[in-house]
Amino acid sequence: MYYSRPVRVFLGILFLAFFAWYMHTHFAGATMSNDVGKAQPAASVQTVQAELQPQEAEPVEPEAVPTPEPTPELSPLMQTAKANADAKGLPMPPEIDIDDFQYILVNGDHPLDPINYEPSSFAYLNMTGEDTEVRTGYDPNRQQVDYRIGQPLVDMTQACKAAGNPIYLSSGYRSYNDQQQNFARVCYNNGITDGKNAEGNYITMPAGCSEHQTGLCCDITDRYYEIKNDSIAEVPTVQWLAQHCAEYGFILRFPQDKRDITHVMGESWHFRYVGVEAAQYMTENNLVLEEFVALYGVA
Ligand SMILES: [Zn+2]
């Protein structure tokens, strides 16, 4: 094929132009692909690392998470009780509401509020356990306690009786006025004015400071005693009660060896209702009510 000179020149220029365009495009493309090529491995290393890191970190995470979880279940009250028990080397105290009626602390430093308090309903029980009925109608020939401890008290005294021990419910609820007269009489008979013996422990409580006014306790012996003294601790009825009372929610409120804490002379006949959980914890750990409620911040 023959082309005229101008045509050949034109074709030559066209070829050179095409060559220049091609080279430019190719060079630029190569540079781009080189950049991509260089960036690619770096990017894929990062990707691999990014993929590996969560996989490596994942098994570590569950070990780190559980630590804060167990604590928040305890209420602030129970956290206090646990911390106080821990400090004394005691086991975990029962999960209770310390404001419930059966934990009320009444002693020489903690008078009732109001001072002339009386229970809202009463139970009247046969004094010698002959009939087990929990009556609610006033009867001066039966023993009067807070209605809420009527049934547990009957259950306990019946079990004691079934074990062969006679029962006598010597003293339950005493009103503020009853205790005032009681206090005056005992003080007069012992030539004292503050209700305390030579040791400094109460032998009778001032009115408003007696647990008997709560109706949540009962003096229990095997028969009528005009004067109650240490010898009653040897009576089988009282010994059986001391051993089993916690099973029915009662505690021996004033043990001989806790006088430095209760500031009350030993009273082996005085049983106080606190509920089974608290009674068992206190008995197992040799605590009186003052020590028990102190775990929950009541002082
Ligand atoms: Zn008593």
**Ligand 1 centroid distance, CA of 220 (Å):** 8
CA 81 – ligand 1 centroid, Å? 28
Q: Kindly report, residue by residue over 193-228, the tens digit of the pLDDT.
A: 999 999 999 999 999 999 999 999 999 999 999 999
Q: What is the pTM of this model?
A: 0.76
What does the pLDDT look like over 89-138, one tens digit per residue? 999 999 999 999 999 999 999 999 999 999 999 999 999 999 999 999 99
Residues that place a CB less than 5 A from ion ligand 1: 219, 270
Distance 22 CA to ligand 1 centre (A): 115
Of 237 and 33, more confident: 237
Select the more confidently predicted residue: 293 or 70. Answer: 293
Compute the distance from residue 272 Cα to the ligand 1 centre, in Å: 9
Whether residue 106 contacts residue 211, with contact meaning beta carbons closer than 8 Å, is answered with yes
Distance 163 CA to ligand 1 centre (A): 23
287, 262 in Cβ contact below 8 A?
A: no
Total length of the chain: 299
Q: What is the average per-residue pLDDT within 57-82?
A: 73
Q: Residue 68 — very low, low, confident or very high, per pLDDT cuts 50/70/90?
A: low
- Please give the distance, rounded to the nearest whole angstrom, from the Cα atom of residue 215 to the centre of ligand 1: 10
**Does pLDDT of 28 surpass 70?**
no
> How far away, in angstroms, is 254 Cα from ligand 1 center?
9
Amino acid at 14: L
Q: 154 burial class (0-12, 13-18, 19+ CB within 10 angstroms)?
A: buried
Q: Which residues contact 288 (CB under 8 A, 6 or more apart)?
A: 251, 253, 254, 255, 258, 261, 262, 282
Q: Are 98 and 84 in contact (CB under 8 A)?
A: no
Question: Roughly what angle, to the nearest 10 degrees, separates helices 150-162 and 236-244?
Answer: 120
- Tell me how far the alpha carbon of residue 46 lies from the centroid of ligand 1, in angstroms: 81
Quote the pLDDT of residue 299. Answer: 81
Give me the DSSP letters along the chain: ----HHHHHHHHHHHHHHHHHHHHHHHHHHHHHHHHHHHHHHHHHHHHHHHHHHHHHTTTHHHHSSTTSSGGGS-HHHHHHHHHHHHTTPPPPP---TTSGGG---BTTB--SSTT---SSEEEE-TTSSS---B-S--TTSEEEEGGGHHHHHHHHHHHHHTT---EEEE----HHHHHHHHHHHHHHHT-SSSB-TTS-BSSPPTTS-GGGGT-EEEEESS--SS--GGGGGSHHHHHHHHHGGGGTEEEEE-GGGHHHH-B--EEEEEEE--HHHHHHHHHTT--HHHHHHHTT--
Report the separation in Å between the CA atom of 288 and the middle of ligand 1, taken as the mean of its atom positions: 15
Distance 270 CA to ligand 1 centre (A): 4
